[in-house]
Structure 1
Amino acid sequence: MTATDEPEMGPILASIGRLADFKSLDEAELPLLASELREFLIGAVARTGGHIGPNLGVVELTMAIHRVFDSPHDQVVFDTGHQSYVHKILTGRAGRFSGLRRRGGLTGYPNRAESPHDLVENSHASTALSYADGLAKANALSGSDRHVVAVVGDGALTGGMCWEALNNIAARDDLRLVIVVNDNGRSYAPTVGGIAKRLAGLRLSPGYEPALEKIKHTVEGIPVVGHAAYSALHAAKTGVKDALAPQGMFSDLGIKYVGPIDGHDYDEVAEALDQAKRFGGPVIIHALTEKGRGWAPAREDEAEQMHSPSSAFDPITGQPVAAKKRRWTAVFSEELITHAETRPDLVAITAAMPGPTGVDKLMKRHPDRVFDVGIAEQHAVTSAAGLAMNGLHPVVAVYSTFMNRAFDQTVLDVSMHRLPVTFVLDRAGITGPDGPSHFGIWDTSIFRVVPGMRIAAPRDEATLREEFAEALAIDDGPTMLRFPTGAIPAGNLEPVDTREGLDLLVEPEGDELLIVACGALAATAVQAAARLADEGVAATVVDPRWICPVPDALVKLAGQYRLVATVEDGVRAGGFGDALAQALRDAGTEVPLVDFAVARDWHPHGARPELLADLGLTPEAIAERLGAEAERRR
Structure 2
Amino acid sequence: MDLLSIKDPRFLKDMNIEQLEKLSEEVRQFLIEKLSVTGGHIGPNLGVVELTIALHKVFTSPRDKIIWDVGHQSYVHKILTGRACEFDTLRQYKGLCGFPKRNESEHDVWETGHSSTSLSAAMGMAISRDLKNEKSYVLPVIGDGALTGGMALEALNHIGHEKKDMIVILNDNEMSIAPNVGALHNVLGQLRTAGKYNWVKDELEYLLKKIPAVGGKLASTAERVKDSLKYLFVSGMFFEELGFTYLGPVDGHNYEDLLENLHYAKKTSGPVLLHVITKKGKGYHPAESDKTGTWHGTGPYKIETGDFVKPKQAPPAWSSLVSETVRKLAREDDRIVAITPAMPVGSKLEGFASEFPDRMFDVGIAEQHATTVAAGIATQNMKPFLAIYSTFLQRAYDQVVHDICRQNLNVFIGIDRAGLVGADGETHQGVFDIAFLRHLPNLVLMMPKDENEGQHMVNTAVNYDDGPIALRFPRGNGYGVKMDEKLIQIPIGTWEVLKEGTDAVILTFGTTIPMCMEAAELLEKQGVSVRVVNARFIKPMDVEMLKSIFAEGLPILTVEEACLQGGFGSGVLEHAEEMGVYGHPIRRMGIPDRFIEHGNVDQLLEEIDLTSKAISEKITAMVPKKKQQRA
Partner residue in 2 for 1:541:
532
1:238 Cα deviation (Å)? 10
User: Relative to 1, partners in 2 of residues 1:237 and 1:436: Cα closer, same or farther, differing over 3 Å?
Assistant: farther
Q: Which residue of 1 aligns with 2:169?
A: 180
Q: In the alignment, what sits opposite 1:596?
A: 589
How far off its partner does 1:124 sit? 0.7
Distance 1:20 1:171 in 2: 34
From 583, 586, 590, give the equivalent of 2:575: 583
Instruction: Report the AA paired with residue 515 of structure 2.
Output: T
Query: Aligned residue for 1:375?
Result: 365
1:336-415 map, 5 Å: 336-415=326-405
CA pair 442-493 structure 1, distance change in 2 beyond 3 A: farther
2:241 is the counterpart of 1:256: no
Residue type of the alignment partner of 1:316: E
Which residue matches 2:476?
486
User: Quick one: which amino acid aligns to residue 307 of structure 2?
Assistant: Q
Within 5 Å, give how 1:155-234 maps onto structure 2: 155-173=145-163, 175-204=164-193, 208-209=194-195
Aligned residue for 2:295?
Answer: 306
Q: SS state of the match for residue 478, structure 2?
A: coil
Distance 2:226 2:387 in 1: 42
1:317 to 2:305 alignment: yes
1: CA distance, partners of 2:599 / 2:483: 27
Corresponding residue for residue 20 of structure 1: 10
The answer to whether 1:121 aligns with 2:111 is yes
Alignment of 1:521-560 (within 5 A): 521-559=512-550, 560=552
**Residue 187 of structure 1, CA deviation:** 0.9
Partner of 2:122: 132
Which of the numbers 449, 452, 458 marks the counterpart of 1:459? 449
Rounded Cα–Cα distance in structure 2 between residues aligned with 1:307 and 1:107: 17
Is this contact kept in 2: 1:397–1:423, CA < 8 A? yes
Match of 1:294 in 2: 283
Match for residue 220 of structure 2? none
2-side partners of 1:240 and 1:269: how far apart?
Answer: 24
Provide, for residues 101-120 of structure 1, a one-character-per-residue CA deviation record: whole Å limited to 9, x for no partner.
00111100001111000011
The alpha carbon displacement at 1:535 in A equals 1.3
Shift of 1:213: 14
The aligned counterpart of 2:605 is: 612
Structure 1 distance, partners of 2:348, 2:358, is 16
What residue is the counterpart of 1:231 in the other structure? none
Provide the C-alpha distance between the structure 1 equivalents of 2:310 and 2:135, rounded to a whole number of angstroms: 51
How big is the shift at 1:631?
Answer: 4.0
Shift, 1:152, TM fit: 0.3
| CA apart distance, 1:149 | 0.5
Of residues 474, 477, 482 in structure 1, which corresponds to 2:467? 477
Q: Is the 8 A contact 2:171 2:276 kept in 1?
A: yes
CA contact (8 A) 1:363 1:369 kept: yes
Q: Could you state the TM-score of these two structures normalised by the residue count of structure 1?
A: 0.90
Task: Tell me if the contact between 1:493 and 1:505 (Cα under 8 Å) persists in the aligned partners.
Answer: no
Shift of 1:632: 5.5
Distance 1:238 1:336, change over 3 A: farther
SS of the equivalent of 2:270 reads coil
Counterpart-to-counterpart distance in 1, 2:84 and 2:585 = 52
* 1:597 partner SS: strand
What do residues 497-535 of structure 1 show as CA deviations (whole Å, max 9, x unaligned)?
x99832211113x2x201011211111111110111111
The reply on whether 1:506 has 2:514 as its aligned counterpart is no
Q: Quick one: distance in 2 between partners of 1:622 and 1:291?
A: 46
Query: Deviations 1:208-263 (Å, cap 9, x if unpaired)?
Result: 45x989979x99xx9xxxxxxxxxxxxx9998763243321111111111011111
**1: CA distance, partners of 2:20 / 2:294:** 25
Supply the distance in 2 between the matched residues of 1:628 and 1:527 (Cα, whole angstroms). 17
Post-superposition shift, 1:633?
A: 8.3
Contact 2:243-2:271 within 8 A present in 1 as well = no
TM-superposed deviation, 1:557: 3.3
* Separation in 1, partners of 2:379, 2:240: 38
1:624 pairs with 2:612 = no
- Say if 2:452 and 2:481, in contact at 8 Å, map to a contact too: no
Deviations 1:330-373 (A, max 9, x none): 21122011111111000011000101012221011111111111
Aligned to 1:226: none
Q: Aligned partners of 1:417, 1:368: CA distance in 2, in Å?
A: 26
Map Cα deviations across residues 3-54 of structure 1 (whole Å, 9 max, x no partner). Answer: xxxxxxxx35355232223334344310011111111111111111110000
Amino acid corresponding to residue 630 of structure 1 in structure 2: V
Q: Is the 8 A contact 1:12 1:33 kept in 2?
A: no
Residues 134 and 214 of structure 1, relative CA distance in 2, 3 Å threshold = closer
Distance 1:238 1:73, change over 3 A: farther
Percent pairwise identity: 39
Task: Give the Cα–Cα distance (whole angstroms) in 1 for the partners of residues 296 and 329 of structure 2.
Answer: 29
Q: Deviations over 1:394-439 (max 9, x none)?
A: 0100110110111111111111111100111111111111010101
The residue identity in structure 2 corresponding to 1:318 is: G
> SS of 1:440's equivalent?
coil
Q: Establish whether residue 428 from structure 1 lines up as the match of residue 418 from structure 2.
A: yes
* Number of matched pairs: 597
2:144 matched to 1:151?
A: no
Aligned twin of 2:84? 94
* 2:508 counterpart of 1:520: no
Contact kept, 8 Å, 1:299 with 1:305, in 2: the verdict is: no
Distance 1:213 1:147 in 2: 21
Q: Which amino acid aligns with 1:320?
A: F
TM-score, structure 2 normalization: 0.91
Give the residue type in structure 2 aligned to 1:485.
Answer: R
Deviates more, 1:258-267 or 1:483-492: 483-492
Give the equivalent residue in structure 2 for 1:570. 562
Which letter maps to 1:264? H
* In 2, Cα distance between equivalents of 1:214 and 1:155: 27
Tell me the SS of whatever aligns to 1:187: coil
Q: Secondary structure at the match of 2:238?
A: coil
CA contact (8 A) 2:41 2:296 kept: yes
Once the two structures are overlaid, the 10-residue window that deviates more, 285-294 or 584-593, is 584-593
- The amino acid of 1:460's aligned partner reads D
For the Cα contact (< 8 Å) 2:422–2:429, is it kept in 1? Answer: yes
Shift of 1:302: 1.9
1:56-67 matches, cutoff 5 A: 56-67=46-57
* Mapped partners of 1:237, 1:32: distance in 2: 41
Give the equivalent residue in structure 1 for 2:216: none
| d(CA) in 2 for partners of 1:504, 1:127 | 45
In structure 2, the gaps of 5 or more residues are 208-224, 485-489
Shift in Å, 1:575: 0.1
Read off the aligned partner of 1:321 and give its amino acid letter. V
Separation in 1, partners of 2:483, 2:496: 10
Select 2:273's aligned residue among 256, 277, 284: 284
Structure 1 pair 330/541, CA: closer, same or farther in 2 (3 Å)?
same
- Inter-partner Cα distance in structure 2 for 1:237 and 1:58: 34
What is the CA distance between 1:305 and its match in structure 2?
A: 5.2
1:47 equivalenced with 2:37 (yes/no): yes
